[in-house]
Amino acid sequence: MNPNRYLLIVQFLVLSMLLTYQAFSAETIVLKQDQESYQLGLNLDYFEDAKGEYQLPEIDMLRQSDRFQRSQKKVPSFGYTRSVYWAYFMVENPLKTPKRLLLELAHPFMKQVTLYYSVDGKPFKKEIKGLQVDRSENEIGNRNHMFEMEFPGSSSTRFYMRFENEGPMSFPLMLWNTKAHLKKADLEQIVLGGFYGVVFALLIYNFTIFLSLRDKSYLFYVIFLGLLIVYQLT
């Protein structure tokens, strides 16, 4: 075979592989100066590790060989499963100044979530959080799992996240700037305060009726409301 023709075929195959990989790879999240939050669900790839046996180097190879699937939902959800799930996404900061953001997993009951991230091709760093992981004294006071991230100016950061749970498997992921997240947390506190206030008022009201009528059905309802409050607070 003509050497030039052989070289042309090899170049064509390499180009086809690159185009295929780009077509099925998650779209990079590009940070903007004035944007306050970024929902990550549609910008990530995921992989089901049914036996929980893979480590990061193997997962990285599997992703590069197109074994990951592109997420089609804003909040990827897989129901009740014992499988471990991995997610991959990229964040690019084209600005000259660094950006400090909060990466939030709004699933407080996740047993364990492991974050791996690499800035501009440097070795991966690792952080672990979760329901069964002791919280450090310096951790952000929030019921959800929060990672403080800094994106250097003109940089690209790769992320892998490993999710392990014994209940519902979903990973609602958001990037927030600090002020926007504080506003969101304040609003949530108001809504939760209203919810607990209404339930507690019902408890007091029905307990008062029970004291007046001595009807056990009201007492059972009061006990139910008390247990509901304790469950929700937990």
Q: Return the half-sphere exposure (C-beta side, CA atoms, 13 A cut-off) of residue 157.
A: 24
pLDDT of residue 57: 96
State whether residue 134 is helix, strand or coil. coil
pLDDT at residue 10 greater than cutoff 70: no
Q: pTM, whole model, 2 decimals? A: 0.76
| Digit-coded pLDDT (tens) for 35-76 | 999 999 999 999 999 999 999 999 999 999 999 999 999 999
pLDDT at residue 204 greater than cutoff 80: yes
Among 94-103, 116-125, 207-216, the minimum mean pLDDT is found in 207-216
User: How far does CA 179 lie from the centroid of its chain?
Assistant: 19
pLDDT of residue 137: 56
| Digit-coded pLDDT (tens) for 24-36 | 467 899 999 999 9
pLDDT at residue 18 greater than cutoff 60: no
Average pLDDT taken over every residue of the chain: 87
